[in-house]
Amino acid sequence: MNNPIFVTRPYLPPLEEFMPYLNKIWDSQILTNSGQFHQQLEQALCEYLGVNHIALFTNGTIALVTALQALRITGEVISTPYSFVATTHALLWNGIKPVFVDVDPHTLNLDPAKIEAAITPKTTAILPVHCYGYPCDVEAIQKIADNYNLKVIYDAAHAFGVKINENSLLNYGDLSVLSFHATKVFNTFEGGAIVCPDAKTKLRIDRLKNFGFVDEVTVVATGINGKMSEFNAAFGLLQLKYADEALSKREKIDTLYRKLLQDVKGISCLGGYGKQSSNYSYFPIMVEADYPLSRNGLYDKLKEKNVFSRRYFYPLISDFPMYKGLASANRSNLPVATDVASKILCLPIYPALTQDEQLFIVDLIKKK
């Protein structure tokens, strides 16, 4: 293989199919502030995902920051160290203290059995992540939230299109936040969204993403500029036409990896929890102690052959300098997450990955 194989590649529809959208933008001269494509994409996503209300954002991080602001979350929030750093950064941007709780060894999501012990009088919410699109134990988390009167905001950046028993995973909790970054299964170059249950909440969120404006002369909150532009929304509409096709290509790649890797000593594949609950957004494997190389050894070996896997998530968020001083960031509080972060490796998966490329990657993993 001469060309580098990256861990992910964006799904790009034929460029000429994007031109009519651009013509419309040029004709209307409306570039942002809830134009036609912005409204159409919100509507189309509600239908595709099976949710009631969506507020589009410029990216997932600003959407997370705004979701916390919209529900007036303060004090302490319980979250996972096993995520992308933006999850916890969103708390600090709101002046909230993160409290890290360990993850479940199978789903790698926040372990509900460990949440209660971390609740204090200052706790106001739980911020779990549907890691790799694998659903959190939403029922158990909701039960705890109800018992202690806490809000639940899901970082659903990986969970586009994932369902539980025909119901969108995004309908659980008080709010769910999506990312449409170029590296995600559905992208708008940069982008994000908040899924919300009712029109009143959406109205508040729409105001917060537009500086807090209610009308031309009234500002009711210290909102931010989180609006998605017409360019990004138009691309999202085009991309959405290919979402099912992209998903089925990913599914084939996932199935083949599982088949080829099933008997490889020291390598275990995560997920495979049933079709209902996967969008095949990542292909995480664990490099166990009985594999001939360490995780970093395998990562380097692949890289030498131009195959770029990703140690996702490593390091843990709790190990970054702005968090490691917290009592809950201590590794003894997070044994499962600490262990997983040292074994995890995400293999390349994206619709254009060929079977030959997959065989090449697996051969490298198998070869002594």
Ligand X SMILES: *Cc1c(COP(=O)(O)O)cnc(C)c1O
Alpha-carbon distances of 136 from 140, 185, 186, rounded to whole Å: 9, 19, 20
| The only residue of 82, 84, 291, 323 in contact with ligand X, by rule CB under 6 A | 84
Q: How far is the CB of 203 from ligand X (least distance, A)?
A: 23
Q: Which residues pair with 225 in a beta bridge?
A: 210
4 phi/psi in degrees, rounded to 5: -60, 145
| The only residue of 5, 8, 56, 59 in contact with ligand X, by rule CB under 6 A | 59
| The only residue of 168, 176, 179, 229 in contact with ligand X, by rule CB under 6 A | 179
Residue 58 or 124: the one with the smaller Cβ distance to ligand X is 58
Tokens of 49: 């995902």
Q: How far is the CB of 225 from ligand X (least distance, A)?
A: 14
Q: Which residues pair with 126 in a beta bridge?
A: 78, 152
Where does residue 285 rank: exposed (0-12), middle (13-18), buried (19+ CB within 10 A)? Answer: buried
From the list 43-51, 155-163, 267-275, 287-295, the region that binds ligand X by CB under 6 A is: 155-163
Residue 26 DSSP one-character state: H
How many Cβ atoms sit within 10 Å of the Cβ of residue 182?
Answer: 15
From the list 83-91, 116-124, 132-140, 321-329, the region that binds ligand X by CB under 6 A is: 83-91
Contact 234, 37 (CB under 8 A): yes
| The only residue of 45, 70, 78, 86 in contact with ligand X, by rule CB under 6 A | 86
Place of tokens 């080829």: 260
Distance CA 304, CA 315 (A): 22
How many Cβ atoms sit within 10 Å of the Cβ of residue 310?
Answer: 18
Contact 210, 70 (CB under 8 A): no
Residue 83 or 239: the one with the smaller Cβ distance to ligand X is 83
Residue 194 or 267: the one with the smaller Cβ distance to ligand X is 194
Distance CA 257, CA 114 (A): 33
From the list 59-67, 136-144, 254-262, 288-296, the region that binds ligand X by CB under 6 A is: 59-67
Residue 179 or 229: the one with the smaller Cβ distance to ligand X is 179
- Contacts for 304 with CB less than 8 Å, ≥ 6 apart: none
CB-nearest residue to ligand X = 60
Place of tokens 């034929």: 14
Question: Is 109 a residue that touches ligand X (CB under 6 A)?
Answer: no
Q: How far is the CB of 277 from ligand X (least distance, A)?
A: 17
| The only residue of 53, 181, 249, 250 in contact with ligand X, by rule CB under 6 A | 181
b/e map of 63-89 (b: 16 or more CB within 10 Å)? bbbbbbbbbebeebbbbbbbbbebbbb
From the list 91-99, 153-161, 206-214, 273-281, the region that binds ligand X by CB under 6 A is: 153-161
> 3-state DSSP: the chain helix, strand, coil percent, rounded to 5?
40, 15, 40
Binders of ligand X among residues 225 to 284 (CB under 6 A) are none
**Residues binding ligand X: what is the number (CB under 6 A)?**
14
> One symbol per residue from 188 to 227: x for binding ligand X (CB under 6 A), - otherwise; what is it?
----x-----------------------------------
From the list 54-62, 94-102, 160-168, 215-223, the region that binds ligand X by CB under 6 A is: 54-62
Question: Is 61 a residue that touches ligand X (CB under 6 A)?
Answer: yes
Contact 288, 268 (CB under 8 A): yes
- CA 236, 62, 215, 199: dihedral to nearest 10 degrees? 70
Residue 25 or 159: the one with the smaller Cβ distance to ligand X is 159
Q: How far is the CB of 367 from ligand X (least distance, A)?
A: 31
Question: Is 185 a residue that touches ligand X (CB under 6 A)?
Answer: no
Question: Is 157 a residue that touches ligand X (CB under 6 A)?
Answer: yes
Residue ranges in contact with ligand X by CB under 6 A: 59-61, 83-84, 86-87, 129, 155, 157-158, 179, 181, 192
